[in-house]
Amino acid sequence: DQKDLATIRDFLTPELYREIEADIRAAGDSTQQTEVVTLNAEVLDVATEGDLYVVSVRFSGLIREAAGEEPQQFSEIWHLEKPVAGRGGWLVAGIQQT
């Protein structure tokens, strides 16, 4: 909601960052206040792909995107990756609406 691109960059792969950055810039000065009412997480898959660990997590629940609105259901699958070697942390590589 704060559109803090510098912080967001630390948690995304460069490819996903470019997509998110474009979306944020396209939204302009519009404001949004998201309240997560309920949140569930389910690990769907864990794999090693080349030199990366990859995990897919389904997040679902209820969110409210404006004060006074009724909460809406959401369901997304987040794909995260981390280098097998070294000290690199987990990065979000993709977000899939379901």
Alpha-carbon span 1 to 65, nearest angstrom: 10
Provide the β-strand partners of residue 11. none
pLDDT for 64-77, tens place per residue? Answer: 988 889 999 999 99
Residues in the chain: 98
Q: How many other C-beta atoms can be found within 10 angstroms of the C-beta atom of residue 36? A: 12
Q: CA–CA distance from 15 to each of 24, 26, 90, 93 (Å)?
A: 15, 17, 15, 7
pLDDT confidence band for 96 (50 / 70 / 90)? very high
CATH topology of domain 5-97: Nuclear Transport Factor 2; Chain: A, (3.10.450)
Residue type, 15: E
Alpha-carbon span 87 to 95, nearest angstrom: 24
pLDDT for 23-68, tens place per residue? Answer: 888 888 777 789 999 999 999 999 999 999 999 999 999 999 888 8
The residues spanned by each domain of the chain are: 5-97
Q: What is the pTM of this model?
A: 0.87
Alpha-carbon span 89 to 80, nearest angstrom: 10
